[in-house]
Amino acid sequence: MAEETKAQEVAAPTGKAGVELSSFYGIKAGMTRIFDEAGNHIPVTVIKLIPNVVTQIKTIDKDGYEACQIGFGEKREKLITKPIKGQLAKAKTDKLVTRFAEVKVAGVDASAVGQEVSIASFTANTSIDVTGVTKGKGFQGVIKRFNFSGGPGSHGHTFHRGTGSIGQRATPGRVWKNKKLPGHMGDKKQTVQNLSVVEVNADKGYMLIRGSVPGSTSSFVRISKAVKKNK
């Protein structure tokens, strides 16, 4: 699966009928809030809808499994490499996508190649899972990384934000695996499950999702039908 990174120069989908899949990619545009008819405040994440094109069909006979490869994240033609241009020419699409991912699906016909992915099934109140790459926090200590309490802050104490003792005695005489220690924090793929679609506006090219989703502004996110909960 392609890695989700910063998005550049994208266009809104055309709204034409396309291939129905369980997942598609969008761009996290930021967060805002809306009010329902009863005046209740609802925090939402704004997702910018971008074209997702079927670029290849994986079959059991040839690949050993069934899936659709979709392309997303358009760029200028001068920024497209020759191998990707050849792949797009084979798919007979004019979308200059640069990133690719696979969606498992059964029984997709080869005629789907070159068509755009439809989001018609992602209506309001649909339960979804959203996957993105979390914000990177760099190298952090145990208090920020694992919510350690730390030591006293006054009365001559010298132990404040340190890790503390991590070892044992002569037995076992080593540090156990998976000990919580300072290290790299964030910048990893994460999925938030059972979120809800609040609104979809294909004409203006945006989707509103209740709550927050992983990733920084302008990063790609994968939106899928909820695995544990379906409406």
At 17 the pLDDT is 59
217-228 pLDDT, tens digit per residue, is 999 999 999 999
Q: Which of 83, 59, 48, 3 is nearest to 200 (CA)?
A: 48
146-174 pLDDT, tens digit per residue, is 999 988 989 999 889 999 888 888 888 89
Tokens linked to 226: 């909820």
Are the beta carbons of 187 and 181 closer than 8 angstroms?
A: no
By CB atoms closer than 10 A (0-12, 13-18, 19+), residue 116 is buried
The region, left, alpha or beta by phi > 0 then psi within -120 to 50, assigned to residue 209 is beta
pLDDT band for position 3 (cuts 50, 70, 90): very low
15-52 pLDDT, tens digit per residue, is 445 889 999 999 999 999 999 889 999 999 999 999 99
Architecture of domain 19-136+185-225: Beta Barrel (2.40)
At 230 the pLDDT is 57
Mean pLDDT of the chain: 89
pLDDT band for position 66 (cuts 50, 70, 90): very high
172-195 pLDDT, tens digit per residue, is 889 999 999 999 999 999 999 999
Position 9 pLDDT exceeds 50:
no
The residue with greater pLDDT, 106 or 11, is: 106
Would you call the peptide bond into 172 cis, given omega within 30 degrees of 0 as the criterion?
yes
Q: What is the mean pLDDT of residues 118-140?
A: 95
Residue found under tokens 């099934």: 121
Q: Tell me the β-bridge partners of 224.
A: 23, 129
Q: What is the DSSP letter of 91?
A: H
Domain residue spans of the chain:
19-136+185-225
Position 14 pLDDT exceeds 70:
no
Q: What is the mean pLDDT of residues 62-74?
A: 93
Are the beta carbons of 46 and 29 closer than 8 angstroms?
A: yes
Q: Which of 49, 47, 55 is nearest to 98 (CA)?
A: 55
